[in-house]
Amino acid sequence: MGRGKVELKRIENSKSRQVTFSKRRNGLLKKAFELSVLCEADVAIIVFSSTGKAYQYSNQDMSRTISRYREAKGLPQSQYYSQPTTKEFWRAEIDNLKKLQESLEAKNKNLSGEDLSSLGMREIKQLERQLKAGIDHIRSRKRRLVMEYISLLKRKQRDLQEENACLKRKLQEGEEVLDIQTGNLQLMTSKDCGLCPTREY
């Protein structure tokens, strides 16, 4: 049974709102990471919770990415971004990266069939779909490689057949030349031995 359409409005219950924020934030950061890896994109995300706590992800230096954005939009470069970042910012960055690392490690274990006890039915089904999609991609790539290898072998076979035919022609030509030379040699030998009629002087 599919998930119903979620009505987009503010969640009134603060606890539910915080849980939803945490889940969707992690999903957003994960998607940003996947986009940066799959497409070699320069990705930067900054999220502020309702309590004012900052979360971010960037596959490059955040200040450099923001500087690139301001340059692309023709905005003046702010002095704030060129200054060294505070210790608190880097502590938050380290915490976020640790959480992201833990999340990716957990996902990697799940994909290997480990630590599945914490997953519910929905997560198991999603994991199964991901594995099936991955297997389909692997099999497709394998088929392409096999077909390319077969084509390569066929080309090599044709080249060898052509080379073999060329060598046969050369061998036949060599035998014909040898037959002619042998015939001439026999003719000359028979003349020298006096087998041919002698001339009268």
pLDDT in tens, 69-113: 888 877 776 655 444 557 777 888 888 899 889 888 888 888 888
Residue 192 in any domain: the answer is no
Instruction: Residue 92: give the domain boundaries.
Output: 14-118
In this predicted structure, what is the pLDDT of residue 18?
86
Angle, alpha carbons 57-58-62 (nearest 5°): 115
Residue 146 in any domain: the answer is no
In this predicted structure, what is the pLDDT of residue 51?
81
In this predicted structure, what is the pLDDT of residue 201?
42
DSSP three-state, residue 44: strand
Residue 145 in any domain: the answer is no
Token readout for 131 is: 């594995």
- According to DSSP, residue 175 is labeled H
Query: How many distinct structural domains can be found in the chain?
Result: 1
Domain of 54: which CATH number? 3.40.1810.10
Residue 172 in any domain: the answer is no
pTM over 0.85: no
Residue 49 in any domain: the answer is yes
In this predicted structure, what is the pLDDT of residue 1?
47
Burial of 57: CB neighbours in 10 Å, binned 0-12, 13-18, 19+: buried
Residue 127 in any domain: the answer is no
Query: Mean pLDDT of successive 10-residue segments in the chain (201 residues)?
Result: 66 85 89 88 87 84 83 70 64 87 86 81 86 89 92 93 91 82 70 52 42
Residue 197 in any domain: the answer is no
Residue 165 in any domain: the answer is no
